[in-house]
Each structure stands twice: as C-alpha cells, then as structure tokens.
Structure 1
Amino acid sequence: MIISKTPIRISFFGGGTDYPDYFKKHGGAALSTTINKYIYISVKKLEVFSEFKYKIFYSKLENCNEIKEIEHPVIRACLNFLNINDSIEIHVIADLPARSGTGSSSSFTVGLLNALYSLKGKSVSKEKLALDAIHIEQVILNERVGVQDQLAAAHGSLNFFELSKESSFSVNRIKINFKRKKELEENLLMFFTGVTRYAHKILEEQVSNTKNEKINPDLSKIKSMVNKGNEILSSDISLDAFGLLLDDAWKTKKNLSKSISTSFLDDIYSRAKNSGALGGKLLGAGGGGFFIFYVNKKYHRNIRKSLSDLTEIHFNFENDGTQITNSTNYD
C-alpha cells in the first residue's frame, strides 16, 4: 500500500495573478504557507479475484471496471495520464472540508500523482509533481485554476512564487528566522465560516474581468503586495505591518469579483476588526470557506469571543510539502 500525505495552504498575497490570463501578459507572484492539515491518499493494487478493477472511496464510493466509467474527474485524468492499467483501490481522507479556499483540490491532485508514481516504482521531483498537476487541471480538465496551489502543495513551507510571462515558475523560501516565524504563526487565527462553495463560479467573473483588463490595476496592486509581504517577513520591523497589509489585500481582493464577499462574510470581518484583528482575508477565491486573521496575542480572547459562532481551526506551519508516508508493495 502507498500512502501520500499532502498539505493544504494558507494564501496571503498574490491571488489572481497566478492565472495564465494574467501572468502570461504581466508576470505574477504569490506568497503562501502550507499548514499541518492534510489530504491523505492510499492506493494499492487489487488482487485478481476482485469483482471490480477500480474501487475508489472518497465522499462517495465508486466501483468501476474501466477508467472512463470513473466519475471523479481528477482520479480519471491521473490514471489516464500515468497509464495505470493495474486493478487498484484508492482511499481519500481529508482533515478539512473541500471547496473551502485552502487549495485542497490541487493538494488532492498533487497527492494522487505522488501516490500513483510511487505505485509505479518511480520517485519524481516536487517540481515535476507540481507541473504535472498544473497540466492535468488546466490542460486536460480545462479547469479555471491558477498555479500557486499546486506549487505550494508539492514544495511545502512559507514561500513566495514568481511566475514569468514565459510560464516558468520559481519557488523561493522566505528568509525568516525561527522565532519570527513562530510569532507569525501564533498571531494567525483561522475560522471556518460554515460556507463551502465551488470556486469556478466566482472565478468565471474574475477571469472574464482579467481578460478584458477591467481589474488589472487591482491585480497589479495585489502582485506588489507579494514583495511587500516578503520584505516585512524578511526584515526585523514589527509583524503588525503584515497584518495591516492583509487588511489592504482583502479590500483590494473584493474588487476582483462581486461574488468574493457577502453581507454575512463582511459582518464576520467587521466583528474581527472591532475585536482587535489588524487584518485578514478569506482564503482562496472567496465566497466562503476559511477566514485567516492577524491578531496580536493580547486580543485572542476578544476575537474568540466575538467569533464564537464559528469553528476555529488550530494549526501550525509545515515545511515538507507532499510526502510518501508508506510505500509497502506486496507484489
């Protein structure tokens, strides 16, 4: 049995500039970290006497005899992409809900590819896993997705990504000492809004606005925040500047699409700000999912009281990206 363990990410700055319609014209950038919340995928070859060739367990159960019968688009695409002809069983377990802005769909793709490559006896680089995941999502499945989520899931850690017009991507570790990184981690509070959504519905408007360059000034500002965020983290100035930059980023992000926020979400943000948060944002495309807030420790109790109707998610940063945690084959 092969088991892959792939983290989800918290995106801070640069979202929207990692879509091909933007970065192929202007270049893009993003700043994010992965956290210790994971998607676990196990794959194993089935015995010849199994009734079905493909047994797949996620939020539903699929028993199929041909790849084309598989309903899950990413699983179907990955099996075809890697020419998997063996009878196999796939199980998926996630720490957090899907469709909640944590890049879990790309973490799933990266993790599945990692597990399937391992099943074939191949060890591939994190760069290849990210690029293969991008190809599957953008080219094979024609999904409206960017590239930062796949890069984050594969490489892990606190990074800023540079995306060239020629579609080359660089992954750069933030130069931050342990004590300062721990302070950042401790000042970030994460809450689940209770709302899940399909990102493509929000992204359709955003991508349309990008193509007609309606939101280019906002995207240019969002891209510049990546460098500002990196400068703050890499320096010795107060991390409060990072929180204030998040506030500016959230205000700018809401200009990208009318669907990014709602009165319900705006109320959550206002309550957090009034209780001591310096800034924050919805993770991912928006519309629901998780809020992240930058809050000094002395205000943590106030925030938790103000947002007691929401579920808080406790987390730590992680540094490893996708991993194979078990690689026992019984062939």
Structure 2
Amino acid sequence: MIITKTPFRMSFFGGGTDFQGFFNEHGGAVISTTFDKYCYVNVRHLPRFFDYSTELCYSKIERLKAIESIEHPAIREAMKFLDMHEIRLNYEADLPARSGLGTSSSFAVGMLNAFYGLKGKYADKKKLADEAIYLERILCKENGGIQDQIAASFGGLNRINFSADGYTVNPIIISTERKEQLNDNLMLFFTGFSRFSSDISKVQQSTMKEKTKQLLEMLSLVDDAEKILTSKSDLNEFGKILDYTWKLKRGITSKISNDSIDAIYTKARKAGAIGGKLLGAGGGGFLLFYVEPDKRTLVKEAMKDILYVPFKFEDGGTRIIYYTSESYESKVQ
C-alpha cells in the first residue's frame, strides 16, 4: 500500500505566462508557493475476490473491469500510461476541487507518485512534474498552463521560469523572519463558487494574441515582486502590486471575475486589505488578500459571510508518507 501527500499551491504573479503558446515566444515566469493543505492518494492492488478489477473512490465510486471504461480521465490515462492493473485508489483532500489552487494537478502528481511507489520505483520531482504535465495537457487534452504540476511536485516558495527550452525552478531565498511576515500578512477566503479551470483557460488561450501586452506587463511584475521579497523593501509593496496584477488579469477575459467576486474584493479593500487576487484561472474559488496585522480583524469581520481559511507555507512538495511492500504478480501479459 502507498499513501502520497501532495500540497496545493497559490500563485502570486505571472499566471497566464505559463501557457506554452505564450512562453515559447516571449518567455514566462511565475512566483508561487505551496501551503499546508494537501491531497492524499491511497493506492494498493485490489484482492482478486470481486467481479471487478479496479475500484476508484474520489467524488464518486467506480468499480469496473476494463480500464478503458474508467470515467475519470486522469486516472484512466495514468493507468494506461504506467500500465497499472488491478488497483484500489482512494482520493481525499483538505480543500475542494475546482477552487483555483491547482487541485487537479496536485492529484495528478500525487497519483503518479503513488503508482511509481506501487511498482517499487523511484520518480524524482522533475519526472513527476513532467509526466503530470504530459498527463493533463496531452493525454487528457485539458487546457491550461504548466505551473501547477511543477509547484505541487517541487513544493516551496519559488520563481519558476518558462521558455521554449523548458523550465527551471528557483527557490526564492529570503530570511525566515521575512517569509513568516509574508505568510502572516496573507489571508485566504473561499468564495463558495467553483468552476472548471480548463474551460476558462480555453477562453484565455483564444485571446492570448490580443492580450500579449497585458501578459508581458504581468511577466514584468514577477521581477518587481521578487525584488521586493529578496531586498529590504517595504513588504507592503508586495500587496500593492498584487492588487495591480489582479486588475491586469481581470482584463484578459470577462470570465475571470464576476459581479459577486468584484463586490467581495471591494469590501475587503475598504476594510483595509492592501491588495489581493482571485487564485487560479478565475470564475470563483479562493480569494487571497494581503493585509497588515492591525487590519486583519477588520477584514475578517467584513468577510464574515464567507469562509476564512488559515494556512502556513510548506516546502516539501509531493511525498510518500506510507509505504508497505506487497507481493503482486499481474495476470495481464
């Protein structure tokens, strides 16, 4: 039996520049971090006592004989890709899916990690990130960028650079005290809305040529944000450009925000938040705000109708937290 634990991510700057159609031509970069909310994937071989050979438990339960009959596209394609047979898979998570935190990519990374573990093989973080990207973007044909899979696999507070030659993961080196201050100045709220990021990403990709100017400006803000974090600059400047990048992102497509989200954002700003943004592709999910300590109570009170989610940064990325070997000989030749 294998159990993997894979963190969710929050992306601060550069979202949209991680689309291959953009970074192949212009380059791209994001600043993101993983935090202490996780998905857990439990995989073992299914005993041969049943009239089905695969059992999957996520938001629904599937019991079937043929891998091709699996409804969940990522599980189906991953099992075919890694030649997995006769398995029982359970998925659990600390936060809901379709909420802007890269949940589907964290699941893809954690599942691949578990599958390799079940085979008795080691897969390093880059291999897991690369294969999760291949699984979601090529095999499942889902629209979107490639930052989520990388963040979930590697973990930590990073600047991830993209180019036609690939990507690099560069940890942002700041003092423990400054990192804790940044963490303490961020507040996360769940709007209650959810959406399929692939649908919004499809619209975003179709307008990318028209929005190149905005995306290039969003890319330049990655440099500005990194300088703020790694220098002695007032950390509040991070919150101010978070507000600015959100305004740029809203202009890419009307599907990124809506009247309800705009009203919540305005309410938080009036209560004292310096800046913030909707996480993920847009359309709903989690709102992140930068708030000075003396304003946190006011912002929390202003947002009392939606769920506040405390969190801490994490650095581990995906990992196997439980492993027991088992004897298994496949009947498939």
Q: Give the counterpart letter for 1:135 in structure 2.
A: Y
Deviation at 1:165, TM superposition (A): 2.1
Deviation at 1:3, TM superposition (A): 0.2
Deviation at 1:8, TM superposition (A): 0.3
Q: Which residue of 2 aligns with 1:67?
A: 67
Give CA-to-partner distance per residue, 1:182-219, whole Å, 9 cap, x none: 00000000000000111122222210011xx1000000
Q: CA RMSD in A?
A: 0.8
Q: Give the counterpart letter for 1:33 in structure 2.
A: T
* Counterpart pick for 1:200 among 198, 201, 206: 198
Give CA-to-partner distance per residue, 1:276-319, whole Å, 9 cap, x none: 10100000011100000000000000001100000001110000
Give CA-to-partner distance per residue, 1:122-154, whole Å, 9 cap, x none: 111100000000011111111102110000000
TM-score computed with the length of structure 1 as normaliser: 0.98
Structure 2 gaps of 5+ residues are: 328-333
Deviation at 1:229, TM superposition (A): 1.0
Deviation at 1:81, TM superposition (A): 0.6
* Counterpart pick for 1:285 among 272, 277, 281: 281
TM-score computed with the length of structure 2 as normaliser: 0.97
User: Whole-Å Cα distance in 2 between the matches of residues 55 and 190 of structure 1?
Assistant: 35
Q: Give the counterpart letter for 2:56 in structure 1.
A: I
- 2:32–2:159 CA contact under 8 A, matched in 1: yes
Question: Aligned with 1:245: secondary structure?
Answer: helix
Q: Which residue of 2 aligns with 1:244?
A: 240
User: Whole-Å Cα distance in 2 between the matches of residues 204 and 9 of structure 1?
Assistant: 21
Question: Aligned with 1:329: secondary structure?
Answer: coil
Q: How many equivalent pairs are there?
A: 327
- 2:144–2:202 CA contact under 8 A, matched in 1: no
Q: Give the counterpart letter for 1:236 in structure 2.
A: K
User: Whole-Å Cα distance in 1 between the matches of residues 164 and 46 of structure 2?
Assistant: 44
Q: Which residue of 1 aligns with 2:183?
A: 185
Structure 1 gaps of 5+ residues are: none
Q: Which residue of 2 aligns with 1:296?
A: 292
User: Whole-Å Cα distance in 2 between the matches of residues 232 and 208 of structure 1?
Assistant: 33
User: Whole-Å Cα distance in 1 between the matches of residues 199 and 153 of structure 2?
Assistant: 26
Give CA-to-partner distance per residue, 1:202-258, whole Å, 9 cap, x none: 222210011xx1000000011111111111111111110100010000000001111
User: Whole-Å Cα distance in 2 between the matches of residues 83 and 61 of structure 1?
Assistant: 21
Q: Give the counterpart letter for 1:310 in structure 2.
A: I
Superposed, 1:139-154 pairs within 5 Å as 139-154=138-153
Superposed, 1:91-130 pairs within 5 Å as 91-130=90-129
User: Whole-Å Cα distance in 2 between the matches of residues 84 and 330 of structure 1?
Assistant: 15
Deviation at 1:114, TM superposition (A): 0.2
User: Whole-Å Cα distance in 2 between the matches of residues 306 and 58 of structure 1?
Assistant: 35
Q: Which residue of 2 aligns with 1:52?
A: 52
Question: Aligned with 1:287: secondary structure?
Answer: coil
Deviation at 1:51, TM superposition (A): 2.6
User: Whole-Å Cα distance in 2 between the matches of residues 201 and 54 of structure 1?
Assistant: 29
Q: Give the counterpart letter for 1:55 in structure 2.
A: E
Superposed, 1:208-219 pairs within 5 Å as 208-210=206-208, 213-219=209-215
